[in-house]
Amino acid sequence: MLRPVSPRVCCKFRRPNRLPYLARFTVSSLSSSELFSKPATLELPNAPSVAYAAVTHPLPGPAPSSKTRETIALAKDYILPVYARLPIVLDRGQGSWVWDCDGRKYLDFSAGIAVNALGHADEGVSEMLKSQSSKLMHTSNLYYNEPSAALASLLVTLTQREGGLGYPAGDHHPTGVPGAKVFFCNSGTEANEGALKVARKVGKDRGGPTKTEIVCFQQSFHGRSFGALSVTSTRKYQDPFMPLVPGVRVGVLNQSEGLEDLITENTCAVIVEPIQGEGGVNSADIEWMRKLVQRARDTGAVVIFDEIQCGLYRTGTLWAHSAWPVDCHPDIVTMAKPLANGYPIGAVLMRDAVMGTMTTGSHGTTFGGSPLACSLGFHVLDRLSQREFVSHLNRTSAFLLRRLERLSGWFPDLVGPIRGCGLIIGLVLIREGDAQRLVELARERGVLLLTAGTDCVRLVPSLNVSEEEVSHAVDVIESCLGLLS
Ligand SMILES: Cc1ncc(COP(=O)(O)O)c(C=O)c1O
Q: What is the pLDDT of residues 146-169, one digit of tens each?
A: 999 999 999 999 999 999 999 999
Give the Cα separation of 133 and 144 in Å (integer). Answer: 17
* Ligand 1 lining (C-beta closer than 6 Å): 113, 187-189, 192, 221-223, 273, 277-278, 306, 308-309, 336
Q: Is the pLDDT of residue 42 over 70?
A: yes
Q: Is the pLDDT of residue 5 over 80?
A: no
Q: Which residues pair with 304 in a beta bridge?
A: 271, 332
From atom 8 of ligand 1, which residue's Cα is the shortest distance away? 188
- What is the Å distance from ligand 1's center to 278 Cα? 9
> Which is it for the CA torsion 221, 223, 229, 235, positive or negative?
positive
- What is the Å distance from ligand 1's center to 103 Cα? 31
| Residue among 189, 226, 234 whose CB has most ligand 1 atoms within 8 A, to mutate | 189
Antiparallel, parallel or unpaired: β 346-351 and 180-185? antiparallel
From atom 3 of ligand 1, which residue's Cα is the shortest distance away? 222
Residue 106 dihedral angles phi and psi, to the nearest 5°:
-125, 145
Closest ligand 1 atom number to CA of residue 192: 4
- What is the Å distance from ligand 1's center to 141 Cα? 24
| Residue among 308, 319, 424, 456 whose CB has most ligand 1 atoms within 8 A, to mutate | 308
Give the Cα separation of 144 and 184 in Å (integer). Answer: 13
First to last CA, the chain: 50
Question: Would you tell me how many other CB atoms lie within 10 Å of the CB of residue 87?
Answer: 13
CA 201 vs CA 92, 198, 231, 379: distances in Å: 44, 5, 17, 33
Please, what's the b/e burial string for 127-155 (b: 16 or more CB within 10 A of its CB; e: otherwise)? ebbeebeeeeeeeeeeeebbbbbbbbbbb
Residue 103 buriedness (CB in 10 A; 0-12 / 13-18 / 19+): exposed
Contact 52, 415 (CB under 8 A): no
- What is the Å distance from ligand 1's center to 307 Cα? 9
Closest ligand 1 atom number to CA of residue 336: 10
- What is the Å distance from ligand 1's center to 302 Cα? 20
Residue 178's pLDDT is 82
Cβ neighbours of residue 212 closer than 8 Å, sequence gap 6 or more:
200, 203, 204, 247, 266, 268
Closest ligand 1 atom number to CA of residue 225: 11
Q: What percent of the chain has pLDDT over 70?
A: 91
Contact 27, 2 (CB under 8 A): no
Q: Is the pLDDT of residue 471 over 90?
A: yes
Q: How many helices, marked H, and strands, marked E, lie in the chain?
A: 17, 17
Q: What is the pLDDT of residues 329-351, one digit of tens each?
A: 999 999 999 999 999 999 999 99
Question: Which among 122, 27, 22 is positioned nearest to 371, based on CA atoms?
Answer: 22
Q: Which residues pair with 419 in a beta bridge?
A: 426
11 vs 452: which has the higher pLDDT: 452
Give the Cα separation of 267 and 264 in Å (integer). Answer: 5
Residue 32's pLDDT is 39
Q: What is the pLDDT of residues 264-317, one digit of tens each?
A: 999 999 999 999 999 999 999 999 999 999 999 999 999 999 999 999 999 999
- 31 — pLDDT class (breaks 50, 70, 90): very low
- What is the Å distance from ligand 1's center to 227 Cα? 13
Give the Cα separation of 39 and 388 in Å (integer). Answer: 11
Helix orientation angle between 371-384 and 387-405, rounded to the nearest 10 degrees: 70
Please, what's the b/e burial string for 414-437 (b: 16 or more CB within 10 A of its CB; e: otherwise)? bbbebbbbbbbbbbbbeeeebbeb
- What is the Å distance from ligand 1's center to 221 Cα? 7
Give the Cα separation of 192 and 226 in Å (integer). Answer: 11
What average pLDDT does the chain have?
A: 92
pTM: 0.93
